[in-house]
Amino acid sequence: MDGVHDLGGREGFGLVPNKEDGEPFHAEWETRAFGIVQSSALGSGWSIDWFRHCRELIVPTDYLTRPYFDQWITTLAAQLVDEGYLTLQEVRSGKSSFIPQPAYAADTAEASRKYVKVPKSYAREVGTAALFSSGDSVRCSALGSPGHTRLPGYVRGRRGVVHAHHGGHGLPDASTRGSTEAEHLYTVRFEASELWPEAEDAVDQVFVDLWESYLEPA
Amino acid sequence: MTDFDTKKLSNIHHELHSDLPSEPALRTKALESLLTEKKLLDAAAIDAWIEMYRDEIGPKRGAAVIARAWTDPAFKERLLADGTSAIAELGFAGHGTGHLQAVENTPQVHNLVVCTLCSCYPFSLLGVSPAWYKSNEYRARAVRDPRGVLKEFGVELDAGTQVRVWDSTSERRYLVVPQRPTGLDAWDENALAQLVRRNSMIGTQRDLHLSREMS
């Protein structure tokens, strides 16, 4: 989707803020929001892709201005309302009117401690041979797609070279439509001069991970 | 149950915009108490996440990986070939590093990591990311003006040094392997690890200076 979240290459932003500060949290509420979103009960449709899409759908002015962990907790609230576990009336009154039966109950401390130690693989079998291999010239889809996608706007219609092929990975565009599909995943290398009008002589490169349906031979 | 309806989610967000308290701390508190009342949260699990990321998981892990790579060429080879397996040798496998790609700085190449679409980050190695990494400014500019961003962080590159920017658009996560400081041949792995800072593993620091770190 053409949302404000798709920030790569947007102009008019100023200096990077808080560069000297590496602390992950700056207030107690941020720490709580982090723990809440990591451990909350979830609906059957939850995936990391669906969470990202639900964050992208935050009111655009809020997306650009509200703090990061505030966006996390707002996204969680939106997902719980969407699942029917929480109502807007409850949000307005601050009072619970029923106890829902979520698809995935709230994590326990023990489950959380196990979860962080397990690397999650998103590799999936794809029934077809890879269309591209390292060194192939490819061009990205010019149109993108209406829902969630991981094809950033700044590479649409642009030509790059396949840097690596990673086998099949779950396709985020599909998982946010409730379907499980996998496609070959590639890292594609773009010359800065292919992406930016002011970068004519630049030697710099940008590497982007892209799924096969985002690409065509070029 | 969700029906994966983009428009419905957008409408919910427009309602929440005014239905939730505007002040972030109040918003978080209101939701925590409501969700706890609805039995959608377990207070002990919230505390567990906070404790794990405060006490165990953070950039010290990444620094240990880098120092190992500097002192053990076979490990470095494994790290560059399959980051996820390599960090498991040190017990650091986990959250956000199921597909880890290490990228190595050289005299000719400087690597910089960003997530332009959200905030992807190798959690189990570097902990929770700093606020600047998630800022609109960094996300917008790192792919287009990497040298300008680097300059703000105090990194000046020769025109001939190539910048490679890695945009984390899939579940693959990137870890920059900075160059080993010269003149420290006698230093062991643990001492070297003390020199490695979070920003050098994201790419917003290039040179690891002994004097600066010790002062």
- Give the separation between CA B145 and CA A192, rounded to whole angstroms: 10
Whose tokens are 């932003």? That residue is A13
Q: Is residue A5 in a domain?
A: no
The two structure tokens encoding residue A130: 């890879």
Question: Where on the phi/psi map is residue A158: left (φ > 0), alpha (ψ -120 to 50), or beta?
Answer: beta
Pick from A33, A50, A151: CB nearest B28: A33
Are residues A150 and A88 located together in one domain of the fold?
no
Q: Considering the domain boundaries, does residue A210 fall inside one? A: yes
CA trace torsion A183, A189, A195, A198 (10° rounding): 170
Interface of A with B in 36-65 (CB under 8 A): 36, 38-41, 43-45, 48, 50, 52-59, 62, 64
Q: Are the C-beta atoms of A62 and B136 separated by less than 8 Å?
A: no
β strands within chain A, DSSP E: 137-140, 159-170, 182-191, 205-211, 215-217
Q: Is residue A143 included in any domain, yes or no? A: yes
Domains and CATH numbers, chain B: 6-41 (no CATH), 59-214 (3.90.330.10)
What CATH number corresponds to the domain at position A183?
A: 2.30.30.50
User: Are both A110 and A141 inside the same structural domain?
Assistant: no
Instruction: Indicate the DSSP class of residue B154.
Output: T
Among candidate residues A60, A85, A115, the one where a domain is terminated:
A115
Residue A2 lies in a domain: no
User: In CATH, what number is assigned to the domain containing residue A101?
Assistant: 1.10.472.20
| B140 lies within 8 A of chain A by CB | yes
- A81 shares its domain with A44: yes
Q: Is residue A126 part of a domain?
A: no
Going residue by residue through chain A (218 aa), what tens digit of pLDDT does each one get?
999 999 999 999 999 999 998 888 999 999 999 999 999 999 999 999 999 999 999 999 999 999 999 999 999 999 999 999 999 999 999 999 999 999 999 999 999 999 999 999 999 999 999 999 999 999 999 998 889 999 999 999 999 999 999 999 999 999 999 999 999 999 999 999 999 999 988 899 999 999 999 999 99
B183: pLDDT confidence band, cut at 50, 70 and 90?
A: confident
Q: How many domains does chain A have?
A: 2
- Residues in B closer than 8 angstroms to A6, CB to CB, are 116-117
Same domain, A149 and A76: no
> Could you tell me if A46 and A89 lie in one domain?
yes
Residue A21 placed within a domain: no
Mark yes or no for CB contact A85/B40 under 8 Å. yes
Asked if the structure places residue A51 within a domain, the reply is yes
Give domain status of residue A121, yes or no.
no
Domain that holds residue A153: 137-217
Cβ neighbours of residue B84 under 8 Å, at least 6 residues apart? A119, B93, B97, B98, B99, B100
pLDDT at B211: 55
